[in-house]
Structure 1
Amino acid sequence: MLDSLPLADIRAFVMTADHGSFTRAAETLGVSRSQVSKQVTALEKLLGVTLMQRSTRSLRLTESGHLLHAQCRSALGDMAQIVTLVREERNAMRGRIRLNSVGGPIGERLLGPAVHAFMQAWPEVEIELDFSSHRVNLIRDDFDIALRMGALEDADFIARPLATLSYVVVASPDYLSRHGSPQTPGGLQAHRCLVGSVARWSFRARHDPKSETQVDISAQLQCRNGHVLVSGALAGNGIIRVPRLYCDDAIASGKLKEILQDWQPADVPLSLIYHRERHRPLRTMRLIDHLVTWFDERNA
């Protein structure tokens, strides 16, 4: 019964009872008098009761009509209030946004300051910033926005490019003095390597940018945490491939040394992804635009 209750017919009945007239109810609803009368009759037929006693000059609610009118009038008022609240919430710059990102220097040095600046501009917006290392599913894991590295294959979301991450292949001077330095990407297979989430490393020859080669790496250590990879390389445990910003200070100080000088590790895109839903809360739209602008200004 509840699944088949027509809301439009209930509203027509409530308006007719409020005004005591089919004509006035029709004027309020912007429809014809005959349509309102048909809607009330259809509602009576569905419920199996008489809601109104009609005459040529007036109408009067039955006991069932009084009961339904009192309850439905209140319910319709509650629904109108809820709809108003939902619309206001969608257009208000307050509420929570759940944002997922890779952690480490990308989350801490790139994303963190951008989020802080947004919160200063919109202090009533709450940000839940998650640095989970696994590749989250926006819907299943209930995130509004996520930052992802690498190629994107899922067509169920919208992707906006934020930056291109430059990669380096490095090792400590101590490791290189003990094991030597590979001269080609293929030479990495004879070395101890510390690997993150990607075990196939891509390179382009610097003298021929169109050439590309890929090497499957056997990991002496596999860990998704960039800090652990860098600290492992600093300890002399092997060769790593990481975004340059992960170890630029260590390279500048000589604690890590770039190898394979004739080969450029493939750059990796950093993208912002979010749901394809048509009606996005204003706070989410503003954060998306803020992040795109923030990264664009710093890439210029």
Structure 2
Amino acid sequence: MDRIDAMRAFVTVVNEGSFTRAAQRLELSPQLVSKYVSQLEQHLGARLLNRTTRKIHLTEAGARYHQRAQAVLGEIEDMESQLGDLQAQARGRLRISAPVSFAIRHLAPLLRDFQQAHPAVDIDLQLNDRKVDIVEEGFDVALRIGRLKSSSLIARRVAPVRLVMCAAPAYLARHGTPRRPEDLKAHRYLHYSYMDPSGREPVFRWLQARTPGHGELVSNNGDVLVAAAIAGAGIVLQPTFLCGAAIQAGQLAVILPEYEPEPMALYAVYAHRRLLPSKVRGFVDFLDGYFGNPPYWDRFG
């Protein structure tokens, strides 16, 4: 028995809902597909399917095996596609969606280097902080920051994204440096309106517990808030890819580092793994490790 063929036959039967349709998809006879599944069950020592004259039903063991088998077959297809890509030059127009501030600060050198390595690829970069629909809006790949929820999209982790709380030394000299989260109640917070404050970290809870005063500053752009913090307007909680350079230059000082929120990540997200175009695979692979480990914006001590 070829285990991969048997695994593929089983997964196709489940996905198609019948042996007949699976045989048509695999261009095999229904008898051979049935034989493959039976041999797989014998090899595993477990029944994977309950068969009736009209329907097939997954057993508990079958459901678990189906999930893992799909992942294994996907990895095999991915590996074979990568080998095939070695024979094909990346070319064509690559449509990329990326967050505004991250792209402005960090993408230009990467895109330059990528096009030097892949001169036949044209790039159409669209900046937007909203979550675009990759398929509906015609993007090849989207860069997203956060903690991704499970979906049908494929996501490749590119780099960690740290969130730090910081303020200008002059502001801290005037108003004092918070030593505990509850000290934040007495401070002016520069609020990022896209930030979800419902997280479990203590720093988020204490920010919510503040008594808002006059002159609060709220914005949906992190660059504005970082600039305001540098000018001494208050305390800001932002990713280090925005505020790391200011911290390194001494324009901002990190406060409450022991309460730093759990890191998020930068992901490259694309619609599917199978038959992935060389231009997309080339770009996603190029992202891997490009920003360093740790990323260069985190090297402020």
TM-score, normalised via structure 1 length: 0.59
1:188 and 1:201 map into 2 onto residues whose CA distance is: 17
Q: Structure 1's 121 and 146: CA in aligned 2 closer, same or farther, altered over 3 A?
A: same
> Is 2:203–2:261's contact at 8 Å kept on the other side of the alignment?
no
Deviation per residue, 1:174-212 (Å, 9 max, x gap): 3223333322223324422112221427686xxxxxxx6
2:150 and 2:182 map into 1 onto residues whose CA distance is: 31
Residue of structure 2 aligned with 1:188, choices 184, 202, 218: 184
Three-state SS of the structure 1 residue aligned to 2:268 is strand
Three-state SS of the structure 1 residue aligned to 2:165 is strand
> Is 2:190–2:234's contact at 8 Å kept on the other side of the alignment?
yes
Q: How does 1:113-152 map to 2 (within 5 A)?
A: 113-152=109-148
Deviation per residue, 1:271-300 (Å, 9 max, x gap): 111002623222112212222253467759
User: Which residue of structure 2 aligns with residue 103 of structure 1?
Assistant: 100
User: Which residue of structure 1 aligns with residue 233 of structure 2?
Assistant: 237
1:93 and 2:85 matched? no
CA deviation after TM superposition for structure 1 residue 129, in Å: 1.3
2:253 and 2:280 map into 1 onto residues whose CA distance is: 42
User: Which residue of structure 2 aligns with residue 276 of structure 1?
Assistant: 272
Three-state SS of the structure 1 residue aligned to 2:217 is strand
> Is 2:164–2:257's contact at 8 Å kept on the other side of the alignment?
no
Q: How does 1:1-300 map to 2 (within 5 A)?
A: 93-104=90-101, 106-196=102-192, 197-200=194-197, 214-215=204-205, 216-217=207-208, 220-276=216-272, 278-295=274-291
Three-state SS of the structure 1 residue aligned to 2:225 is helix
Give ranges in structure 2 of 5+ residues lacking alignment.
Answer: 1-87, 297-301
CA deviation after TM superposition for structure 1 residue 134, in Å: 1.7
1:176 and 1:201 map into 2 onto residues whose CA distance is: 26
1:298 and 1:111 map into 2 onto residues whose CA distance is: 17
2:290 and 2:156 map into 1 onto residues whose CA distance is: 13
CA deviation after TM superposition for structure 1 residue 141, in Å: 2.4
Structure having the higher Rg:
1
1:176 and 1:155 map into 2 onto residues whose CA distance is: 43
Q: Structure 1's 137 and 154: CA in aligned 2 closer, same or farther, altered over 3 A?
A: farther
Give ranges in structure 1 of 5+ residues lacking alignment.
Answer: 1-90, 205-211
Report the AA paired with residue 95 of structure 1.
G
CA deviation after TM superposition for structure 1 residue 145, in Å: 0.5
CA deviation after TM superposition for structure 1 residue 92, in Å: 5.5
Three-state SS of the structure 2 residue aligned to 1:200 is coil
2:295 and 2:245 map into 1 onto residues whose CA distance is: 20
Three-state SS of the structure 1 residue aligned to 2:131 is coil
Report the AA paired with residue 161 of structure 2.
L
Q: What is the aligned-residue RMSD (CA, Å)? A: 2.8
Report the AA paired with residue 100 of structure 1.
S
TM-score, normalised via structure 2 length: 0.59
Identity of aligned residues (%): 34
Which structure has greater strand proportion? Answer: 1
Report the AA paired with residue 93 of structure 2.
R
